[in-house]
């Protein structure tokens, strides 16, 4: 009854604008509205999406300006992943069809829907775009303004449109150490998997990561992990 009254009193364009802003700044910044959600999310509005098509695991972050354009495709973001401002996800596409004018694409006739997945601990720079074939491996780094439309290997550093591998996040030894800290044994990458990656994808490529921290930063890291209940499996 209240909604009916409001619709009679307020012009339709103003009402649509109000509900759009309400969704972007309130509804879409609350994990409970999402298809799947875990714990400890940082969702900074405005976020434009239909949350029923988005899955968030524990400890994920979406910054302001995130846009998820979907009429049924799913965006899955795994734990420890951070997405910077103004990124766009499009988990579907219009299939060019004889007799179907493009103007009617908004009817979603003959659309193809898929799932975009960002693996665990992925770092996404600002203004990136992810299209329907995007599958980003664990620990990858996506440089600002990149366009991702394919499978990105674990721990790859990619840039460009379309994105291409230019480096590796850590050395093989650092990856094994990183995995031992963040993941239980059954979830860790196997050494032989890393051997194959370093012999093919990352051959002769530089790594960008470090494995040293100041004492002050180590204290802050331990405090933050305790706050968000992130286990340290190496010391378990």
pTM of the model: 0.87
- Measured CA to CA, the distance from residue 48 to residue 29 in angstroms comes to 10
Q: Which domains does the chain have, with CATH numbers?
A: 2-170 (2.160.10.10)
Per-residue confidence (pLDDT) for residue 31, from 0 to 100: 85
Residue 35 · residue 74 · CB < 8 Å? yes
Q: Among candidates 118, 160, 116, 157, which has minimal Cα distance to 140? A: 157
Q: Give the three-state DSSP class for 8.
A: helix
Q: Are 125 and 138 in contact (CB under 8 A)?
A: no
Give the rounded distance of the alpha carbon of 1 from its chain centre.
39
pLDDT tens readout for residues 171-230: 999 999 999 999 999 999 999 999 999 999 999 999 999 999 999 999 999 999 999 999
Residue that is written with structure tokens 């434009």 in the block: 48
Whole-number pLDDT of residue 15? 45
Query: Which regions of the chain are under pLDDT 50?
Result: 1-2, 15
């Amino acid at each position: 009854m209240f909604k009916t009254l409001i619709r009679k009193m307020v012009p339709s364009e103003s009402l649509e604008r109000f509900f759009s802003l309400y969704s972007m700044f309130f509804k879409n910044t609350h994990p409970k509205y999402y298809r799947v959600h875990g714990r400890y999310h940082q969702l900074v509005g405005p976020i434009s999406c239909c949350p029923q098509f988005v899955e968030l695991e524990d400890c994920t972050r979406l910054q302001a300006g995130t846009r998820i354009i979907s009429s049924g495709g799913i965006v899955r973001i795994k734990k420890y992943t951070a997405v910077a401002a103004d990124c766009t996800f499009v988990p579907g596409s219009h299939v060019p069809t004889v007799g179907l004018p493009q103007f009617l694409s908004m009817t979603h006739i003959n659309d193809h829907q898929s799932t975009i997945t960002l693996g665990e601990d992925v770092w996404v720079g600002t203004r990136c775009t992810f299209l329907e074939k995007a599958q980003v491996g664990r620990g990858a780094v996506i440089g600002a303004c990149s366009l991702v439309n394919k499978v990105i290997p674990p721990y790859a550093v990619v840039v460009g449109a379309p994105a291409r591998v230019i480096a590796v996040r850590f050395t093989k030894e650092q990856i094994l150490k990183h995995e031992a800290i963040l993941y239980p044994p059954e979830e860790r990458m196997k050494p032989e998997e890393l051997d194959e990656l370093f012999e093919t994808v990352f051959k002769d490529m530089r790594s960008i990561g470090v494995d040293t921290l100041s004492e002050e930063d180590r204290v802050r890291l331990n405090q933050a992990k305790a706050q968000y209940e992130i286990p340290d499996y190496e010391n378990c």
